[in-house]
Structure 1
Amino acid sequence: MPSAPTSATAPASLSPSSSANWSWWWAAQPLAWTWSCTAPRRSRWAAWTAMRPCWAPTPWPTVAVCTNGVPQVIDRSGARIGEYEDVSQVEKYEMAESDYEKRPESLRSFLRQRRWGRYDAEGTQRRAAEEQQRRAQEATLAAALPLGARCQVRVPGQPCKRATIMYVGQTDFKPGYWVGVRYDEPLGKHDGSVGGRRYFECQPKYGAFVKPQSVTPGDFPEEDDGLEDEL
């Protein structure tokens, strides 16, 4: 078997009747051709002839050498492994704000034409008014919940639970008004402390925060499960 070239220059000639195994050459191509060695020699010769003008004028960025019949690809392009993993090192195209504002087919133009998102002034005002009204309703409901009162908690998707009101007001973990309750059973999530701030005292898994509209104050004594009457 003839030895493969070790430089970046391709062989000057190749006979169609040659039975040389040129699989090492295909492994070196930038286009990464996948070619079987069992393909007809005439087909390999046609592909070689078609590709020859591409590499003839300049050296290949990748070449192959054959060691003990095993092709090995050598990269001579000068690229370093991982040089583009840090995208901050890659130069990026930046468009001026004034130029982007004038483009008729940009995302900003699309949103502005359909009045979506921040370009929907009427919708933004409507949502702000609805949020303000909801906050006012929550404040009114929260003011009617006295501390220490018994209550019944009905949260959508959860069973009805009885509890004692321990905290009413605004919190640090979420906006709006919240009601801290101490359940009669360990059906809560914490001990009255959330995010490093303590709002009330209770046993672990007995405390929870719910919205004022989920709390109904009234005469709700603790349920008697009858376990004390059994021995």
Structure 2
Amino acid sequence: MFRDITTVVFDVLGTLVDEPRGLRAAVVEAAGPRGDSAGLLGIWQSHIEQEQARIARGERDYADTETLDREAALRVAETAGIDDQALIGRLASAAERLPPWDDSADGVARLVQRFRVFGLSNATTKTLHRLAEHAGLEWDLALSADAVRAYKPAPEVYALAVEAAGGDPSRVLMVAAHAWDLRGAQSIGMRTAYVRRPVGDPPTSTDTFDGRFDGLRQLAAALISST
């Protein structure tokens, strides 16, 4: 199934860490248990999605995820009536403390023994390094879309990983819980594997990924058996 793969590239937010749960915990920490955590989380997520879409359409100059997260935190703070700057600052850095899925650290550790393993994310390099330390993710390289001032699924983001892997996309496997992410990788010739997560974007009946898995242990077993 995965013969000739040399490099495994993981999406991070949603695939290796539970982004919604981590953000909700940060919102509760900032607003208190009586706050409308679901509503405040929705404000955060809507802002990030809308601003990244505006950037992709050329309606806004590029801004990195630390900037967008700070804006989202300020919107949440305004709605929840939070004026403590320390609380707002900690909320803005919530992406550095997202909880990993139960199989993430072990799955990455198994694969890094046999393949080069990269993290590829819209998050900044600083955020990725701090998140990796928090979540116990020991990959070989963290790649940020910030390097090309664009957001996935822009093809130039995936090209970062292919170039770092040696230039042959057919030997690079993109792993994600988001079908839209895998379609972006396919657009430049990368191999693809979908991993099911509760917060992901499931494939449609027309998606033709190289593999579909219930978790990282199953993925790791399939990859290792193919070598």
Give the TM-score, by structure 2 length: 0.22
Question: Which has more radius of gyration?
Answer: 1
Question: Using CA pairs below 8 Å that are at least 6 residues apart, which structure has the higher relative contact order?
Answer: 2
Task: Determine which structure has the larger helix proportion and give its number.
Answer: 2
TM score, norm. by length of structure 1? 0.21
